[in-house]
Amino acid sequence: MLLPKLITLGGPVMWILLITSAIAIAVFIERLLHYHRAQIHSMEFIEGIRNVLRQSNVVEAISICDATPGPVARLVKAAILNRDAGREGVREALEEAGLMEVPRLEEKLNLLATIAQIAPLIGLFGTTLGMIDTFAVVSENGLYAETQALALGVWKSLICTAAGLGIAIPSYAAYNYLVSRVNSIVLDMEKASTEIVNIVSETKG
């Protein structure tokens, strides 16, 4: 059965579900691209910064950080800018920078999780409306109710249920995948923070 016909049979709730699915797809693609840009080869980057700082070229190290996308580069920059504050000062600067970076990574994930939770409920709402239509036909026509009229209500119920689940399942899977990407980036941030504290301490001055 063609999609336009399914949408028509599903009734107005199907349009709500279509908009919901479009939002979920948009959020997933945007976050996926964002994480792809944010995740770099952190250890290679750190080693490059180490070599530059050993030559006491702080300006070049900061320029490299500015030219490199992602939270790891911003953490390293924060550490370099606070290199004169000692190890504890650098750690505090890294903690503050990390507190700013993690919410950026988690941005919009709650929206995807919400869609995964409410899509079946929206589908259930459509199912209920379909059953109401079916019983309305039976109530008005009794034993003389036309099969086609009854079928329309049943179609609406089944299509909305299927659509709600069809949106919720991939949305939940997409949410879990994106969370794993965030955890991976945060792990890189933690490793980079440990390394840059040692590097700044070794090369200070």
* CA-atom Rg of the chain in angstroms: 27
Query: Residue ranges of the domains in the chain?
Result: 11-203
Looking at residue 14, what is its pLDDT?
A: 92
CB 161 within 8 A of CB 126: yes
- Contacts of residue 116, defined as CB under 8 A and 6 or more positions apart, other chains included, come to 24, 168, 171, 172, 175
User: What's the CA gap between 159 and 7, in Å, rounded?
Assistant: 8
Task: At 31, list the tokens.
Answer: 């976050």
> Rounded to an integer, what is the distance from CA 42 to the centroid of its chain?
22
pTM: 0.85
Looking at residue 143, what is its pLDDT?
A: 66
Per residue of the chain (205 residues), what is the pLDDT tens digit?
577 777 788 888 999 999 999 999 999 999 999 999 888 888 889 999 988 888 888 899 999 999 999 999 999 999 988 888 878 888 999 999 989 999 999 999 999 999 999 999 999 999 999 888 887 877 777 666 677 777 888 888 899 999 999 999 999 999 999 999 999 999 989 988 888 888 887 766 5
Looking at residue 55, what is its pLDDT?
A: 86
CB 72 within 8 A of CB 188: yes
